[in-house]
Amino acid sequence: MAWDQLTDEQREIRDLVRTLAHARIAPRAAEIDESHEFPWDVVELYRENDIFGLFFDEQYGGLGSGTLLALIAIEEVSKVCATSGLILAVQELGSLGLKLAGTDEQKKRYLPKLASGEWLCAYALTESDSGSDSAAMRSTARRDGDEYVLNGSKRFITNAGVANVYTVFAKTDPDSAHAGISAFVVEGDTPGFAVARLEPKMGISGSTTGELTFDDVRIPAENLLGEEGEGFKIAMRILDRSRPGVAAQALGIAQGATDYALDYAKTRETMGKPIAQHQLIQAKLADMETECEAARGLLYRFGRMVDEGADDVELTKASAMAKLKCGDVAMAVSTDAVQILGGYGYIKEYPVERFMRDAKITQIYEGTQEIQRLVIAREMVRESRAFLLAGVG
């Protein structure tokens, strides 16, 4: 058994998720990818086994088991199906605005439904002309008595059309940049809100990714998250805590690809012996396993930091490093897995081509790898490291 630092309780829950993933989700993974249909049966599986509860505190009907275990759950599912792992990651992403900035009343109204999985959620920040540059968003929210009136659109939104509640960002002061952005809770059946289109994608095909439109959407003023003008700060706090969910998805993809390539290499023979005994294949496998373990170290470190109460400022760099490393490892390792399988790796009969397609998005969404590098470097510049140079002449 591989060494780990999990408690017996954490290990028990991890093993439950792993068993469900292999027994119930893995047999569906290829069909989910091929059909491009959202897997409601997987959502029901999560509901029945209280898997959504891993992401919520006990007072709202969750398990209160902590961030590390939540990340492990995403990783375990993503080893067999990245789409199904993403469902868990987005339940965290879409609810973090409420957890971090919601009032007690807002939390009581929404979090129990999200913890049980009765409702799904989504996070709506990106627009067609404002991805990494949030200040360029054009969606607006105008105060009108006891309501806000939302107008605009959002692009590339995961869970579009299947979510019951959305965390939406819009400008309450269109003339300001980041300081003009506010955050709102918008229910999916609100008049004037619509899903304009769903995108056909390279990977994570069973996950809905769509364009949202807001046409004079009226929402109660009490659905404002935090104060007016705090939206950008809320968005960044959310992403600091949600990016590791993408990292966990990426790590799962990488480990799943490694495990499959290893199993294949043990049985595929060339020149009279299994290819796992050829040194060039062994070198690839060794690098793949090492990179997965290095990425896991950064990801689990972040989980422990949150569970032990690290300050937000400490999480920013740790989050970006985990997302950067895991995303890059997923792409590199899944590519190597395809190479190990050779021609078989390029056809849909074998899952590694799906792993490779799914891996690419982990380098793009919730902050591109380029953005992660900017964040890491910015935090490095802010740090005081004078003590490291003490005595150096």
CB 127 within 8 A of CB 133: no
**Dihedral sign of CA atoms 228, 232, 233, 235 in order:** positive
How far is the CA of 168 from the CAs of 52, 150, 158, 234, 356, in angstroms? 22, 10, 13, 11, 31
- Report the Cα 185 to chain-centroid distance in Å: 20
State how beta strands 165-171 and 147-158 pair: unpaired
State how beta strands 121-124 and 165-171 pair: parallel
Spatial CA neighbour of 238 closest among 364, 115, 65, 98 = 98
Spatial CA neighbour of 153 closest among 173, 187, 179, 126 = 126
Q: In angstroms, rounded to a whole number, what is the distance separating the alpha carbons of residues 115 and 52?
A: 5
Q: Apex CA 226: angle with CA 133 and CA 56, to 5°?
A: 95
Q: In angstroms, rounded to a whole number, what is the distance separating the alpha carbons of residues 360 and 96?
A: 25
Region class of 318: left (phi > 0), else alpha (psi between -120 and 50), else beta: alpha
Residue type, 45: L
CB atoms within 10 A of CB 393: 3
Give the catalytic positions in this structure: 366
CB 158 within 8 A of CB 122: yes
CB 88 within 8 A of CB 204: no
Q: In angstroms, rounded to a whole number, what is the distance separating the alpha carbons of residues 311 and 315?
A: 7
CB atoms within 10 A of CB 367: 24
How far is the CA of 226 from the CAs of 49, 110, 178, 234, in angstroms? 33, 16, 15, 8
